[in-house]
A and B are shown apart, each in its own frame.
Chain A
Amino acid sequence: MEYSVFDIIGPVMIGPSSSHTAGATKIGYIARGIFGEDVTEVTFFLHGSFAKTYRGHGTDKALLAGIMGFLPDDERIKNAYKIIEKKGIHYTFTGKDLGEVHPNTVKIHMIGRTGREMIVMGSSIGGGKVVITKINDFDVDFNGEYTTLITKHVDRPGVMASITSILAQNKVNIAFMKLFRQAKGDYARLVLESDEDIDRHVLEDISKMDNVVDVTLIQKLIL
C-alpha cells in the first residue's frame, strides 16, 4: 500500500478510534449521500467488533453524526444524540451477524420523508479508511475518497459508452470504474470515481438518458 504523508499524519478526527469513530462517521456520511435525501428513520445493524464496543468508542454517535451529514472531524459528533433527537429523527441500534464480512461492518436501513427506503452497508477497514460494500441488493466497492458517481441502469449495450462520453465532454477524468449487475439484461450499477468534482448539470444529462433509472453523486470527502 502507498501512503500519503497525510495518511500517516492524519486524518484530523474526533477520537477515540480511527476505525470505530472516524470510519463510522464516514460510512454514515456516505450512506446519506447515496440516499440523497434527509433521513427520518434509521436502523443500524452492527456486526462484529462494531456490535461489541460501539458505546465505548462512540461508534453510535459517529454513525448518527454521519447520517446527519457531519464529517469525521466535526466537534458536534459528541452531541449527536441530542442533535438527532432535536431533529426528530428516529434511530435504532441493533447487533446482527451480517455473515462473512469485515469485523467492523454496519448495515444501515434508511427511511426518508416520502417513505422511500434504502439499505447501505459498509466496513471500516482501519486507520479511518472505509469501503461501501452494498447498496440495497447490489454489491458495490468504493470508499468516498474520490468524487463518486453511482448509476442504476438497465444492462443494455451502449449505456456505459454514453455515460463515459458525457463525462469526457465535461473534462472529467475517470480514476476508477466498476460495474455491478444482478443478471444479464436486468438492472446494473456503475460506480465511477473521478479526481475532479462533477457538476450537477452533468448529473442531469446522465439521468435523462434512456435506460438510466437513477444517478447519485457523492462529492469527495475533504479531510
Chain B
Amino acid sequence: MHYKNGIELLELCRVHDMHIHEIALKNECINSALEQDDIKEKMLEHFHIMATSIKRGLDEKERNIKGFMIGGEAKKLKKYHENHRSVCGETMSKAISYALSVMEVNVSMGRIVACPTAGSCGVLPAVLLSVKEKFDLDEEDMIKGLFTSGAVGSIIGKNASLSGAEGGCQAEVGSASAMAAAAVVEILGGTPKQALHGSAIALKNLMGLICDPVAGLVEAPCAKRNAIGTSNAMIAAEMALAGIKSIIPFDEVVVAMGKVGRMLPVALRETSEGGIATTPTGLRLKKKIFGQDKKR
C-alpha cells in the first residue's frame, strides 16, 4: 500500500479498486500497526476539534478570539452574508468565514488541528464543514475526506514541501488547498483521478505564493490567504468534478512547486524580510507590537 507519488497512488486505487481514502487508511494501518477502527476514531476526534475551532470564532459569546492584528473578521463576514446580498453565494461566503474563524482561534492560542501546518489550519476544516452542511453529509464522509487529504499532503511533503520557511506560502496554504480539493472531489463521488486533477488545479492556482508574515506573526496575510485557499479548493473541486483536467499532471505540479519554493529568495520565505512584511505599514505594525516589552 506504499506510494511515493500520485501515479503510484492511482495505480494502487486501480489495482485494488479502492478510493484514495481507503488506500490511505490501509497504509496507516500497516505503518502504525493499529486497528482501522482506532485510526478512524482518532481521525473523527480531529474532525470534531476542527468543527469546534470553526464555531469558537463565530460564537457571539466567545471573547478574546483575537491576535495582535486580527480578530472578529469571521463574525463580520457571517453577519454580512446573512443580511446582505452575498457576492460569492452562501456556501462560499460561509466557507471563507469558517477559514477566518479557525485562523482567529489559532492566533489567539486556541486549540486547532495543524493541517498540514498551523499557518494553513483554516482551509481544510472550512472546506469540509461547509460542504458537509450544504449537502447534509455525515461524519463518515468527513473521515473519508480527511484520509484523502492526508494522502495528498503526504505526497506533497515527500516530493516538495509543506513548510513556509522552505517553500513559501504555496507550500502551506497551497498544499492545504490541494488537499481540500481532493477531499471534496472524493466525498462528492469523483474518481481518484479526478481528485488528483482537483489537487493539481488548486496547487497551480497558488503557485509562487510567498510567505511574508507581518511582524513575523501567523496573522497577516495568513488568515486571508486561508480564505483564498478555501475558495480556491472549492473552485478546483468544482472543475474536477465537471470532468475538467489539469493540463499538467499532479506529480509534475508538485515537483514544480518544490522547485519554485527553492527558487524563491529567502526574504520571501517566512523571514519577514520582504513582501508586505516590509511595507511601511508592515514595519510600523512590527514596531508597535514588539516595541513594547509586555507580557500578554
Q: Which residues of A contact B (CB under 8 A)?
A: 1-18, 21-22, 49, 52-53, 55-58, 60-61, 73, 75, 77-78, 81, 126-128
Contacts and interface: CB of A to CB of B under 8 A. Distances in A.
Given A2-B31, A127-B117, A15 B107 contact: yes
Given A10-B46, A75-B111, A16 B154 contact: no
A9 B295 contact: no
Contacts of A15: 105-112, 118, 121, 218
A98 B109 CA distance: 28
A17 B163 CA distance: 11
For the complex, would chain B's binding face be called helix, strand, loop or mixed by DSSP majority? helix
A145 B34 CA distance: 16
A75 B105 CA distance: 12
A126 B163 contact: yes
Contacts of A61: 109
B283 interface: no
Contacts of B249: none
Nearest to B148: A5
A16 B218 contact: yes
Interface string B209-246: 00000011111000000000000000000000000000
Interface of B: 24, 28, 31-32, 39, 42-43, 45-46, 49, 67-68, 105-119, 121, 124, 146-147, 149-151, 153-154, 157-158, 162-163, 165, 179, 215-219, 289-290, 293, 295-296
Nearest to A11: B114
Given A10-B115, A12-B45, A15-B110, 20 more contacts: A5-B43, A5-B147, A5-B150, A8-B116, A8-B149, A9-B43, A9-B113, A10-B114, A12-B114, A13-B113, A15-B109, A15-B111, A21-B109, A53-B216, A57-B216, A57-B217, A60-B295, A73-B111, A78-B110, A127-B116
